[in-house]
Chain A
Amino acid sequence: MTETAVTAGAPFTAERRRARHRAAWRRRRLVLMLMSPWIVGFCVFFGYPLVMSVYLSFTHYDLLSSPKWIGWANYKYLFTQDPQVGPAVRNTLWLILIMVPLQVLFAFGVATMVARAKRGVGFFRTVFYLPALAPPVAATMAFVYLLNPATGPVNVILGHLGINGPLWFQSPQWSKPSLTLLSIWGIGNLMIIFLAAILDAPQQLYESAELDGAGPIQRMRWVTLPTISPVILFSVVISVIAAMQYFTQAYVAANIASGQASQAGDQTVNNLGYPEGSTLFYPVLLYQHGFRFFNMGYASALSVLLLIVAFTVTVLIIRNSRRWVHYAGAVK
C-alpha cells in the first residue's frame, strides 16, 4: 500500500516541481524582459565603454588608426612626466575641498530658510530653484559677462562703492572662486532635495526636543541634522563626483573670458585652462588629450584613473558616513 502510494505520488511531485520551475522561469523571463532596456543601456553605454577604456589605456590610439599595444607607457607618462596632470589634479581638488562644501552648505542653508518661510513659500522655492533650469553654457556666459572686470555690472557697482573689483574669470586667483559663485547660484536641485528632507522630518521629534528645552540650534544639531543625514551623504557624494567631472562651465568660461570664443572652431587656438591654467581641471585635460590631440589611448588612461579615484573616494565617504549618518528604522 505504502509502496503504491509512493510510486503514485512520485510523478505528481515531479510534475509540481516542473510546474514550479516553469513558473519561476516565466517570472525570471518577465523580470528580464522588463529590465532589458536598462540592461541593454547599461551594457552598451557603460559596460562596453568601461571595458574599452581600460583596454585603450594600454594602447596608443589616435582615433584614426587601429590601437597599438604599448603596455604601461601611458600610465608611466601620466604618473611621472605629464606636467599638466599635477596642476589639473590640484585644481580639481580645490573644487572638492572648497566648492563642494560651499555648495552643500549653501543649499542646506537656503532649504532651511525656505522651510521656515511663513509667506511666499512658493515664490521663494521657485526663485531659488530657477537657476538650476538655466543651461550650464548660458549660465556661464551670463556670469562671465556679469563679472567682466572692465565692463561687467558687478565691478561697475563695486566701483561706485569705491571698491576696485577683482579680475574674476581673468585672474588665476579669482577664476575658481568665480566658478564657485556660479555653482552656488545654481544649487536649485540640491536645495530641493534638502527641502524635501527637512519637511519630511518627524514633527514629534521637534516637539519632544522643545519640551526638553532645546533651542533652535540644539534642535538643528540633534534633530534636523541626524534626520536628514542620509540626504547630506547623498548630496556630498553626488557633488564630489560632479566636481571630479567638472567640465562644461570651465570650458565655456575659459573660451569666453580669453576673448577668443569666436575661434572655437579653430582648434589651433587653445584656451583651455585660461587664465594661466587655473581652470584646467582633470576632465578638461582628459578632453584636451582625447579630442584636441588625437591621443585617445592616453585620455583613456586618464579616465581609468579618474574612475578609480572617484570610486575610492565614494567608498571612503560612505564608509566614513557610518559614524554620522542615521537611517530611520535602522537596527544597529
Chain B
Amino acid sequence: MRRGVIAAIALAAILAAAAGATARSAAHAGTKADTITVWVGWSARVLAGFKKVVAEYDSKHPDVNVKVVGGINDDKITAAIRSGNVPDVVSSFTSANVGSYCKSGAWVDLKPFLSKDHLDVNVFPKTSQYYTQYNGKRCALPFLADVYGFYYNKKMFQAAGIKSPPKTMSELTADAKKLTKRNQNGSLKVVGYNPFLGFYAGNAPDLSAYAPLFGAKYTDAAGHSALSKDPAWSRLLKWQKNLVDWYGYKNLQKFDAGAADEFSASHAFEIGKVAMMIDGEWRVAFIQAEHPGLAYATAPAPVDDAKKNLYGAGYVNGTIIGIPKGVKHKDQAWALLKYLTFNAHPLAQFSNLIRNVPTTKQSLNSKEIKPDAHFKTFLTIFANPNSKTTPITAAGNAYGTLIQAFAVKWQAGHAGDLHAGLQKLDKQIDAQLKQAQAGGVP
C-alpha cells in the first residue's frame, strides 16, 4: 500500500514536471505570448531607461511581450480611451487629471486587484497615495515621484561668506541679496535667488512649489477655497513680491528672458547665473550629465519664518500609472503594474537611471539605490510627513490657472489690495469647481 502511494506520488510528480516543462517550452517556443502595450510620457534617454526596466520583466515572463510606446500625453490617452482602442497600461505626468480618470471610470478601479493580491497602499507615503485617487476611488498608482528641494552653489556661498543653506525665508532673502551681482547699468548679472513666478519649475506661477513651505492650505474643512482665510498665502505672496521689488520687476523680466530653457545645458543655475534655486530632484541627473564639475549642494527648501517646524518638507508630485477602460489583457496589465509600482527592485533600478524618487517606503531605503548625497536630500523630503502636493479636483488643475492669473498680476503690482484679491479668488475657484462638478446640478 505504502509502495503504491509512493509510486502514485512519484508518477504525479513526473506528470506535473512534464506538464510544466511542456508549458514552459511551449511558451519559450513562442506559442502565442500576449503582447501588452505600455504608454508612457518619457522620451529619448529616459524612455530608453524605462525600456530596460521593462525588458527585465519581459525576460522573466515568457507569457507576455511588453511593448513600450513613449512620448504620450494626456490628449492621446483620452483619445485612445474614447476610441476604445486602448493600450494595456497607461501613465501620465499630470497627476492633477486623476480626478477625471477616476471619476469617469476611464482608468479602471484598482481596488479589486489590490484586494485580491492583499496589497496595501500604505507602502506609499501619504502624499503619493493622495494624488493617485479621487474621492477614495483608486484608479492609479504612483510610479516614481518628483520632489522639490533647494540647490545652492557652494563656491558662491564661500565667496559671500555664507556658511550654511538658509532655513527660513528671511535667511533666504538675506542670502539672495548678498549673492546678487549687478552690471554697471543696473541690470542683473548674477541673481542670488530668483523669485519671479514663471522662472523655471521652482517658481511655478500657481505657487504649488511654495505652498508646502508656508504650510498654506488650499481649502477649509467644508472644502471651500481658503486662500483668503489662511494667512500663510498672504505671507507667501508678500515675501515673494518684496523680493521681486528688491530686484526690480523689469530687471527680473529681462534676466528671465535671457536665461536659457530650463532643460538645456545652459540652465542658469548650472552656468552660475543663479546662486540658489528650488527645483526638482531630476536636476541632480542633469547636472551630473551636463556640468559634473559644478560645486553645489542640496538641502530642504527654506520655510516660512512663522512655521520653522516645516523645515524638511517640500512639494511632491509624480507620474501616475493605471489600466485604461476597455483593456484587452487586464490580468497581464495588472501583473506588470504591480511589478512596476510595488516592487522595490524596478523602482530602484529606474530611479538610478533617471534620478527620480522611488515611490514605496521600502524602495526609499533600498540598497540598490545608488548612493548620492545630492539625491539623498530628496528621498528625505519625500518621506517627510509635511511634504504636500496640490489638491486633486474634478476640474484637474484648473484652479491653479486662477491662482496663477492672480499671482502674476500681484507680482507685477497690478492686483491691488491683497486680501480683497484673495477673497475674490476664493469665490472664483469655488464657482469653477462647482461648474466642473456638472455645474452643481446633481
Contact = CB atoms under 8 A, between A and B. Distances in A.
A149 B257 CA distance: 6
B198 A171 contact: no
Interface in A10-60: 60
Given A262-B261, A295-B398, A170 B428 contact: no
A199 interface: no
A265 interface: yes
A189 interface: no
Interface of B: 41, 71, 73-75, 78, 81-82, 93-97, 100-101, 103-106, 198-201, 204-206, 250, 253-259, 261-264, 317, 395-398, 400-402, 404-405, 408-409, 412, 414, 428, 431-432, 435-441
Contact of A65 (B106, B253, B431, B437): B106
Interface string A67-106: 0101101101100011110000000000000000000000
A62 B100 contact: yes
Interface of A: 60, 62-65, 68, 70-71, 73-74, 76-77, 81-84, 148-151, 167, 170-172, 257-263, 265-271, 273-277, 288-289, 291-295, 298
A84 B405 contact: yes
A207 B21 CA distance: 100
A60 B257 contact: no
Given A260-B262, A275-B408, A170 B106 contact: no
A281 to B, nearest CB: 15
Q: Across the A-B interface, give the 7 residue pairs with the lowest CB-CB distance, nearest first.
A: A150-B258, A73-B439, A64-B104, A60-B438, A64-B106, A65-B104, A262-B263
Could you tell me the dominant secondary structure of chain A's interface residues? Answer: loop
B41 A172 contact: no
A266 B78 CA distance: 15
B135 to A, nearest CB: 14
Contacts of A81: 428, 431-432, 435
A167 B253 contact: yes
9 contacts: A81-B435, A83-B428, A149-B254, A167-B250, A170-B256, A262-B262, A266-B94, A270-B206, A271-B198
Could you tell me the dominant secondary structure of chain B's interface residues? Answer: helix
A62 B435 CA distance: 12
A113 to B, nearest CB: 35
Given A65-B104, A65-B106, A74-B439, A83 B93 contact: no
Given A74-B439, A81-B428, A83-B402, A150 B204 contact: no
Contact of A64 (B93, B100, B404, B408): B100
Contacts of B437: 60
Given A63-B78, A73-B439, 6 more contacts: A65-B104, A81-B435, A148-B258, A275-B198, A293-B396, A295-B435
A172 B404 CA distance: 15
B397 A149 contact: no
B255 A293 contact: no
B106 to A, nearest CB: 4
Nearest to A271: B198
B355 to A, nearest CB: 17
Contact of B441 (A71, A171, A288, A291): A71
B405 A83 contact: yes
B104 A62 contact: yes
A171 to B, nearest CB: 7
A262 B113 CA distance: 36
A149 B258 contact: yes
Contacts of A74: 435, 439
